Amino acid sequence: MSPGRMRDPMPGRPLRLDRPLLSVRGVRKAFGDHVVLDDLSLDVHAHKVVVLIGASGSGKSTLLRCIDLLEDVDDGVIELEGQDITDPRLDANAVRARIGMVFQAYNLFPHLRVIDNVTLAPRLVHKASRAEAEAEALAVLERVGLAAKAQAFPDELSGGQQQRVAIARALVGKPAVMLLDEVTSALDPELVGEVLTLLAELKQAGLTMVIATHEMGFAREVADEVCFLHEGRVHERGTPAQVLGNPREERTREFLRRITGP
């Protein structure tokens, strides 16, 4: 990573509105006989936020893990910035470094201080010097409101703070796209707000994000597009107002009824 990019806190990538930044086409993924993703396609354009909704087990996490190359797809193509990342000849580590992933259970490294959690990848993957990495990490921690906690260990933080550290850790590599998997579902209700506010700020800053969530209010607020996953495909897609407010598909309506209660 060049020093110029290390200092720039925002991903200032060239805007190509004509082609999607991330393009998933015809992806299939099965675990044994259980087909989770079946000919699934999805496009994400730069600076857009796509929200994935769907029943538990509908494959939201699996899709995000496939995009981050944590799972190999059984078929289909995933393109990031025009490059087929499912090509097995590609260096998967370099691809993962271009994608920021945030997990439901934070997955912070408990033996490392907050600052070291954030600087681990810059130092090991981007070969930044310690000083350089720490300066950048502090800037990102500042952005998520946790610069004061840099020297704390993860288990000394609240759930919401831990999840914001996890977001900082994913952000620090200036990923082309952020993947967030139900990042608030392990949090107490009063802590959900601080994380969602942060995500809304990131959207304002122009980040490209794919977010799996059960928070429909949040989806309505930040999504440019909502995709409803069902039977391994994107069953319905559209603006939040359309999909959440006036769904075309019976399955979508049923799902929304179930999660909002009778």
Ligand X SMILES: Nc1ncnc2c1ncn2[C@@H]1O[C@H](COP(=O)(O)OP(=O)(O)OP(=O)(O)O)[C@@H](O)[C@H]1O
User: Which one of ligand X, Mg ion, another protein, none interacts with residue 232, CB within 5 to 8 A by kind?
Assistant: none
Give which of 244, 204, 195 is closest to 222, Cα–Cα.
Answer: 204
- Residue from the set 40, 52, 58, 61 that interacts with Mg ion by CB under 5 A: 61
Which residues sit at the interface with another protein, rule CB under 8 A? Answer: 65, 68, 70, 93-94, 96-99, 101, 103, 105, 107-111, 120-121, 124-125, 169-170, 173
Closest separation in Å from C-beta 28 to another protein = 21
Q: Which of 259, 262, 261 is nearest to 53 (CA)?
A: 259
Alpha-carbon distance 107 to 66, whole Å?
18
Q: Name which of 64 and 137 has its Cβ closer to Mg ion.
A: 64
Q: Using the minimum distance from each CB to another protein, give the nearer residue, 106 or 228.
A: 106
3-state secondary structure the chain: CCHHHHHCCCCCCCCCCCCCCEEEEEEEEEECCEEEEEEEEEEECCCCEEEEEECCCCCHHHHHHHHCCCCCCCEEEEEECCEECCCCCCCHHHHHHCEEEECCCCCCCCCCCHHHHHHHHHHHCCCCCHHHHHHHHHHHHHHCCCHHHCCCCHHHCCHHHHHHHHHHHHHCCCCCEEEEECCCCCCCHHHHHHHHHHHHHHHHCCCCEEEECCCHHHHHHHCCEEEEEECCEEEEEECHHHHHHCCCCHHHHHHHHHHHCC
- Partner touching 97 among another protein, Mg ion, ligand X, none, CB below 5 to 8 Å by kind: another protein
Instruction: Tell me the closest approach of the beta carbon of residue 258 to Mg ion, in angstroms.
Output: 17
Residue 85: CB minimum distance to Mg ion, A: 21
User: Which of residues 24 and 141 has its CB atom nearest to ligand X in the complex?
Assistant: 24
94 binds, among Mg ion, ligand X, another protein, none (CB under 5 to 8 A by kind): another protein
Cα–Cα distance list, 69 to 62, 65, 84 (Å):
10, 6, 12
CB of 93 to another protein, least distance (A): 5
68 binds, among another protein, Mg ion, ligand X, none (CB under 5 to 8 A by kind): another protein
Cβ proximity to Mg ion, 52 vs 146, nearer residue: 52
Q: How far is the CB of 210 from ligand X (least distance, A)?
A: 13
Nearer to Mg ion, 45 or 60 (CB): 60
Query: What, of ligand X, Mg ion, another protein, none, does residue 54 touch, CB below 5 to 8 Å by kind?
Result: ligand X
Footprint on this chain of ligand X (rule: CB under 6 A): 31, 36, 54, 56-62, 182
Out of another protein, ligand X, Mg ion, none, what residue 36 binds, judged by CB under 5 to 8 A for its kind, is ligand X
Sites of contact with Mg ion (CB under 5 A)? 61
